Structure 1
Amino acid sequence: MRSDADTWLGIDLGTQSVRALVVTADGRVLGTGTAALRGRRQGTRHEQNPEDWWKAVCAATRTALKNRPPVRALAVCGTSGTVLLTDKDGRPLGPGLMYDDGRAAEQAARLRAAGVAVQDTWALPKVRWLLEAGGRGRVTHQPDVITARLVGHPVPTDSSHALKTAYDVEREAWPDGLGVPPDLLPDVVRPGALLGEVCPAAADATGIPAGTPVIAGMTDGCAAQIASGALRDGAWNSVLGTTLVLKGASAVPVRDATGVVYNHRAPDGSWLPGGASSVGAGALAARFPDADPAVLDAEAAAFEPSSAVAYPLVSPGERFPFRAPSATSLLLGTPASDADLWAALLQGVGLAERLCLDYLHHLGAPLDGPLTFTGGAARSAYWNQLRADILGRPARVPEQTEPALGMAALAAYGTGAAPALADVADGMVRVRTVVAPRPGHTARFAEPYGRLLDALESRGWLPADVAAHARARLDRDTAGP
């Protein structure tokens, strides 16, 4: 059982930094630490040095734990789809291929032709690419490098990070036909399982006391979902940063033959369906690199709706709410000014978010629970209001939305702090505000949404049945039947 004095450590291996948080059962953050990461990008290549991950973890945890009481346990999350090969002792044999490394498109196409549902940047195609390039080693996901160093020997991976390596989370087994020698695949446990304890060498390096339990984590997207509290059936978390990710909770898997929506398995055996879009705030940063967002937000309020309709992809190709590798950004109409264009981009992300929810409804996903906004864009009060208006439903905005908080909650669950992860999250997650849609505002965006649906369908990107389903819900709350 937990006490109010207990603390847990969450570690998030992000793209640009490692973040560590020391968190109490009631959500107070007692310690924080951050250490920067750098990678190598060249064309479709995106790599990071695994030794840099460990050095950053050591720096971040030492700062977070300085002058703090010992933590009861820790858990680690990483970027989904980041993978590498290691030797039998867990030592990296090369760089980590990051979540968006695109070199394995050919391998992904061959896997899909063989009936394996993968996307181009998933871990399994990258593993195949590494092996075909002459590599030979144990398949290892990003957090496994850190947990192995913490414990002092190789450890099983968790089923959340293994999902994009095509691990079958329903059968809880590696399937046949992956084209990877079985002896190279890691053992797999559910998130929340005990992996071991911090060894003396790791304690000296990180400042984490020796003997601290190390709990199996989840991907950064799932970690952010835990930090949002969206863990009960029908609840959803919309994470808007550079791109847009929606993750929800369901008693049963949400089936999608196209593979656009996939299901993580929660520690209790329930399901966390979701998908990742390529629209997002990155499109605004690319178009207005030196802008003051607060100033343009204020000016954009005069353009509801904008004279233009946008589908603001951050990079070519779309993954959710439809799969279209050839998709490109759209701008229908001519904005009257920079403020009007800014408004079109803000609204375009909101319209894409609505289409994601409509697609989930089309698949039969439960949507009647609370919606939570997290991610860097949730700092914009205007954009939060605009999105709530477009979706026609209220949204919660938590005080603390970092994936590291989600890992602290999972560490608490893994050490028996509460019988359910949702119960732990209910105690840790503090809601800052609830944004309700303004009366009459949702109807303003029905016509632009219809125009966007027409444009996406006419280009062959959005399937006709999905477009028809979304049109039938133009004037409905996205949480409704």
Structure 2
Amino acid sequence: MSLFVGLDIGTQSVKLVAYDPDTRQVVASAGQPLELAAGEDGSREQRAEWWIDAVRACFGRLDPALRARVAAIGVSGQQHGFVPLDRDGNVLAPAKLWCDTSSTAECDQIMDAVGGPARCIELAGNPILVGYTASKLPWTRRHRPQAYARLATILLPHDYVNFWLTGERWMECGDASGTGWLDVRTRQWCGPLLRATDPDFDLAACLPPLVQADALFTIAPATADALGLPRNVRVSTGGGDNMMAAIGTGNVSPGVLSMSLGTSGTLFAYSDRAMVDPAGRWAAFCDSTGGWLPLICTMNCTVATEAVARLCGFSTREGDALLAGTRPGADGLLMLPFLNGERTPDLPHGRGSLFGMTATNLTVPNLYRAAMEGALYSLKAGWDAFVDAGMRFDAIRLTGGGSQSAVWRQMAADVFGLPVDVPEQAEGAAFGAALQALWAYLRQHDPTADLAALAAAHVRLDPRLSARPHAEATAAYQAQYQRFLSHLDAIRPLYAG
């Protein structure tokens, strides 16, 4: 009757699920909101202690009898964040996050130092995009020199939570891919890119060891006592939130396309080989199972819908009802929802735009629909690159907050022209972390334990939440999507530098 806990350290909240694999039920869940410090320069930061306080709060809401049954914990975390530690494990500065665009210039400086984006892709498989961890190092050197001078360890958000849980420092290749320094083909750190980031500092010495996806560590006794957990609880490697969401949606074998509609929007698929695009149209990441995870990420998904809801004085929970009288295409109203700058398409200096306004279509419902549609059009632009590369999919597995909206689900099915299925467990990243912990735990006793088989047994779809594309709506969205691409081409020069 062991339980396996998945923690997801997100941008907006920390979530916990406790899963019983014998009954195949999530027996408890908890969440705790997080603050976000935002600056006019594009900075987006959180303090690492906020994550720990939230983890404590989530465990505190679990019944002590359930905590006593916990066998292993897996941690999912927002990718790309930079947590700087000194030699004693103290955090030196606030963590700069994935959605931080203040280090855009540093991205170009690193790539220029190795010969440009194409050379960067040759070296490691990815360009250094806005938000990636690499650019945050020279930014910190310039703006927080005292912290940089004491830097001893570079951790990502989920790595830091693992460090707090166990007292040990490590990384796994999935989340490490998002630093920009990992050669995803060889799963080794790329020396030329580390030197390009800082030629005068040995950054390689600050990076913790890379471990296998099925590695297990023991919780620190003091942490176990503080959380009311057994001292023999094990902690799996965990991974980035996208890597964990892939596991949580059953995306651990070729042919499945997962879509996450959260603060950011993502599309990702499993591959048994490194999927590197010479043009850098997608992120060529490793996954957290030993495979690879080609991924499209947009920085503005529910960011846009929440901004409209806040502006117009309603809750996004009311969004579906609000859109009951609207039609695909929002009566011609079109939004490019680049409120945080954008990664896909690559417009780090981009800003949101609204087009096609008339005296009759500029209504609150149409504005909200245009925000939803614009978020999906950005993802579709990335999906087109997958299709161009020969990737084929039969259906979409939807996760994230947007998956709980009937309108989002139907809109995704219609925009992409594919059936949409939703796993029973809405918190795909937290559930995936729990499954990874279960897999690693089982492999202690049976090295042949197969994650694909495990996911097939435990990831169940909810037929009540499925959506199938409607041909008429798909045609309407296709026409509006072409307008989206035309307007995107028109505004690119405005935000090119």
TM range (shorter): 0.7 to 0.9
- Counterparts of 1:272 and 1:156, CA distance in 2: 20
Of 184, 204, 213 in structure 2, the residue corresponding to residue 191 of structure 1 is: 213
- Counterparts of 1:326 and 1:267, CA distance in 2: 31
1:275 aligns with 2:272: no
Of 352, 356, 373 in structure 1, the residue corresponding to residue 378 of structure 2 is: 352
1:55 maps to 53
1:35 maps to 32
2:101 maps to 102
Q: 1:253 to 1:206 in 2, by over 3 A?
A: same
Paired residue type of 2:482: G
Paired residue type of 1:86: L
Q: 1:442 to 1:214 in 2, by over 3 A?
A: same
Paired residue type of 1:130: T
Of 306, 313, 337 in structure 1, the residue corresponding to residue 330 of structure 2 is: 306
Native 8 Å contact 1:283 1:312 kept in 2: no
1:317 aligns with 2:349: no
For residues 105-160 of structure 1, the C-alpha deviation after alignment (integer angstroms, 9 at most, x for no partner) is 23212012124421122111112322444213211222222222222x33212222
Unaligned ranges ≥5, structure 2? 115-119, 121-126
- Counterparts of 1:393 and 1:19, CA distance in 2: 29
2:278 maps to 257
Please report how far the alpha carbon of residue 65 of structure 1 lies from its aligned counterpart in structure 2 after TM superposition.
Answer: 5.3
1:408 aligns with 2:434: yes
Please report how far the alpha carbon of residue 347 of structure 1 lies from its aligned counterpart in structure 2 after TM superposition.
Answer: 2.9
- Counterparts of 1:67 and 1:6, CA distance in 2: 11
Please report how far the alpha carbon of residue 248 of structure 1 lies from its aligned counterpart in structure 2 after TM superposition.
Answer: 1.2
Paired residue type of 1:199: A
Of 403, 419, 438 in structure 2, the residue corresponding to residue 378 of structure 1 is: 403
Q: 1:369 to 1:209 in 2, by over 3 A?
A: farther
Please state whether the residue corresponding to 1:89 is helix, strand or coil: coil
Please report how far the alpha carbon of residue 407 of structure 1 lies from its aligned counterpart in structure 2 after TM superposition.
Answer: 0.5
Native 8 Å contact 1:254 1:261 kept in 2: no
Q: 1:244 to 1:415 in 2, by over 3 A?
A: same
1:451 maps to 483
- Counterparts of 1:103 and 1:351, CA distance in 2: 25
2:82 maps to 83
Native 8 Å contact 1:28 1:428 kept in 2: no
- Counterparts of 2:412 and 2:286, CA distance in 1: 28
Please state whether the residue corresponding to 1:274 is helix, strand or coil: strand
1:474 maps to none
Q: 1:304 to 1:86 in 2, by over 3 A?
A: closer
Native 8 Å contact 1:243 1:314 kept in 2: no
1:242 aligns with 2:263: yes
- Counterparts of 2:309 and 2:184, CA distance in 1: 42
Native 8 Å contact 2:83 2:160 kept in 1: no
Native 8 Å contact 1:10 1:21 kept in 2: yes
Native 8 Å contact 1:80 1:164 kept in 2: yes
TM-score, with structure 1 as normaliser:
0.87
Q: 1:143 to 1:304 in 2, by over 3 A?
A: closer
Superposition pairs of residues 220-231 of structure 1, within 5 angstroms: 220-231=241-252
- Counterparts of 2:2 and 2:95, CA distance in 1: 34
- Counterparts of 2:302 and 2:157, CA distance in 1: 25
2:160 maps to 145
Please state whether the residue corresponding to 2:372 is helix, strand or coil: helix
2:225 maps to 204
Q: Report which stretch shifted further, 263-272 or 103-112.
A: 263-272
Please report how far the alpha carbon of residue 72 of structure 1 lies from its aligned counterpart in structure 2 after TM superposition.
Answer: 2.2
Q: Report which stretch shifted further, 178-187 or 418-427.
A: 418-427
Native 8 Å contact 1:241 1:376 kept in 2: yes
Q: 1:51 to 1:390 in 2, by over 3 A?
A: closer
Q: 1:20 to 1:79 in 2, by over 3 A?
A: same
Q: 1:362 to 1:100 in 2, by over 3 A?
A: same
Paired residue type of 1:408: A
Say how many residue pairs are matched. Answer: 452
1:469 maps to none
Please report how far the alpha carbon of residue 176 of structure 1 lies from its aligned counterpart in structure 2 after TM superposition.
Answer: 1.1
- Counterparts of 1:411 and 1:358, CA distance in 2: 34
Please report how far the alpha carbon of residue 370 of structure 1 lies from its aligned counterpart in structure 2 after TM superposition.
Answer: 3.1
Please report how far the alpha carbon of residue 458 of structure 1 lies from its aligned counterpart in structure 2 after TM superposition.
Answer: 4.0
1:466 maps to none
Please report how far the alpha carbon of residue 102 of structure 1 lies from its aligned counterpart in structure 2 after TM superposition.
Answer: 2.8
Q: 1:36 to 1:287 in 2, by over 3 A?
A: closer
Native 8 Å contact 1:297 1:383 kept in 2: no
TM-score, with structure 2 as normaliser:
0.84
Native 8 Å contact 1:24 1:428 kept in 2: no
- Counterparts of 2:266 and 2:9, CA distance in 1: 18
Superposition pairs of residues 327-342 of structure 1, within 5 angstroms: 327-335=350-358, 336=361, 337-342=363-368
- Counterparts of 1:101 and 1:123, CA distance in 2: 10
Q: 1:19 to 1:285 in 2, by over 3 A?
A: closer
1:427 maps to 457
- Counterparts of 1:306 and 1:16, CA distance in 2: 28
- Counterparts of 2:411 and 2:455, CA distance in 1: 27
Instruction: Pick the structure with more helix per residue.
Output: 2
Q: Report which stretch shifted further, 28-37 or 326-335.
A: 326-335
Please report how far the alpha carbon of residue 369 of structure 1 lies from its aligned counterpart in structure 2 after TM superposition.
Answer: 4.2
Please report how far the alpha carbon of residue 286 of structure 1 lies from its aligned counterpart in structure 2 after TM superposition.
Answer: 1.6
Paired residue type of 2:185: E
Q: 1:356 to 1:188 in 2, by over 3 A?
A: same
Please state whether the residue corresponding to 1:67 is helix, strand or coil: helix
Please report how far the alpha carbon of residue 268 of structure 1 lies from its aligned counterpart in structure 2 after TM superposition.
Answer: 4.2
For residues 414-442 of structure 1, the C-alpha deviation after alignment (integer angstroms, 9 at most, x for no partner) is 11267232222222222113211124332
